[in-house]
Structure 1
Amino acid sequence: MSTSTLTLPGQPLGPASANNPGTGTHIQSSHVHSSLAGALTSVPSKSKSQPQPTLTITRPAGPLVPETGTVVLGRITRTNPRQATLSILALGSGGEHTCRDTFPALIRQQDIRATEIDKVKVAESFRVGDVVRAVVISLGDERSYFCSTAKNELGVVMAVSEAGNQMVPVSWREFLDERTGVREVRKVAKPV
């Protein structure tokens, strides 16, 4: 078997009589099973007394799916007065691990800022199309993760103005369209 074979936890890998269990595997009912999700490697034996190959599972670097505490990058897809809908595109503060499929998430009004929570307005924090750095605070419900931007380094990292121009941050709550000179209110992420 090659390293390109992906396995899931509990997946049978072969009989224990023909394979040795290695890292990331276990024996159950005389079969070697995967203990975690990852890439399967079969290492040929160099021993004549045990000619069976050793099966090991290695996890890819970085998280496979968002977990509580994971910093994510996503695009705002919808807003209403109580929350913003986020489509998670990458994991890691700099987007180190691009997601194959997007994950749905919500940023609730009370999770936008750490202070003056009762005065936060979603429409003054995010607009559809903004790219946001957030942290997963809960696995949420069956439909969406719950994310927060309630730290200085979290919030909008890229925004486009109503005129369609790329904007630059000028304060902790404003972006500037340099072509038109118009400022727009956002929950700006402090550069990391």
Structure 2
Amino acid sequence: MLREGIDCEQFVIPGEKVADLKNFQCGSNTYLRGNFIYSSIVGIKNISKESKEGKKIVSVVQRNPYTAVIPEVGSFVYARVISVNPRFCKCAIICVNSLPLQHDYTGIIRVRDVRATEPDKVEIYNSFRPGDIVRAEVISLGDSRSYYLSTAKNELGVIYAKSMAGEMMIPINWCEMQCPKTKVKEFRKTAKPSISEKN
């Protein structure tokens, strides 16, 4: 994914596809899922010289080309889940429209904003867990440095999560992810992957 402005054409976020396995090999801060390599952190995509296997190594490095962007109503953001309780999920917003923030802003996902259908049956703990990376939309401004977020659209929700075994999980439907190592399924409100990201 290419982005315009502030010399961040190669900026990537957790869960973003950075290369294919046919021509590249996993480097630092990346992981393999199917036939593609994905970023595990917010950073800059880096391609190094060929390895012994004859493939170039793709990695993601942390740098600080931050811009003075702030979340606004209608913006799509990426946020890390900090805590959950029966009424809402508290997040730290780390990117706005794929641009990294210099300072985290607090985001709140209320029970009624998790999904569009049957919101009264939503259980926050079955939708998000601390440490998850979520793609969400800013729907309103809360108090100072706090925003109300929504994951009600199909393309919004958890895009990156680790299983209880510490493995990067794979989404298998709109409400579950699976550990590739143990095959154990865990509930999440997953984001529908784009066609280009499917294996």
Residue in 2 aligned with 1:166? Answer: 168
Q: Which amino acid aligns with 1:111?
A: D
Residue in 2 aligned with 1:34? Answer: none
Give the greater-gyration-radius structure (CA): 1
The structural deviation recorded for 1:64 is 1.4
Residue in 2 aligned with 1:21? Answer: none
Residue in 2 aligned with 1:145? Answer: 147
Residue in 1 aligned with 2:128? Answer: 126
Residue in 1 aligned with 2:32? Answer: none
The answer for unaligned runs of 5 or more in structure 1 is 1-61
The structural deviation recorded for 1:142 is 2.3
Residue in 1 aligned with 2:184? Answer: 182
Residue in 1 aligned with 2:116? Answer: 114
Q: Secondary structure at the match of 1:84?
A: strand
Q: Secondary structure at the match of 1:123?
A: helix
The structural deviation recorded for 1:170 is 0.7
Q: Which amino acid aligns with 1:68?
A: V
Q: Which amino acid aligns with 2:105?
A: F
The answer for unaligned runs of 5 or more in structure 2 is 1-66, 195-199
**RMSD of aligned alpha carbons:** 1.3
Q: Which amino acid aligns with 2:87?
A: R
Confirm or deny that 1:73 pairs with 2:75. Answer: no
State the alpha-carbon separation in 2 of the partners of residues 123 and 100 from structure 1.
29
Alignment of 1:17-32 (within 5 A): none
Q: Secondary structure at the match of 2:166?
A: coil
Q: Is the 8 A contact 1:63 1:91 kept in 2?
A: no
Q: Is the 8 A contact 2:68 2:101 kept in 1?
A: no
Q: Secondary structure at the match of 1:175?
A: strand
Number of corresponding residues:
128
The structural deviation recorded for 1:67 is 0.3
State the alpha-carbon separation in 1 of the partners of residues 86 and 70 from structure 2.
28
The structural deviation recorded for 1:143 is 4.8
Residue in 1 aligned with 2:29? Answer: none
Q: Which amino acid aligns with 2:169?
A: M
State the alpha-carbon separation in 2 of the partners of residues 190 and 165 from structure 1.
20
**TM-score, normalization by structure 1:** 0.65
Alignment of 1:34-53 (within 5 A): none
State the alpha-carbon separation in 2 of the partners of residues 119 and 161 from structure 1.
24
Q: Which amino acid aligns with 1:150?
A: A
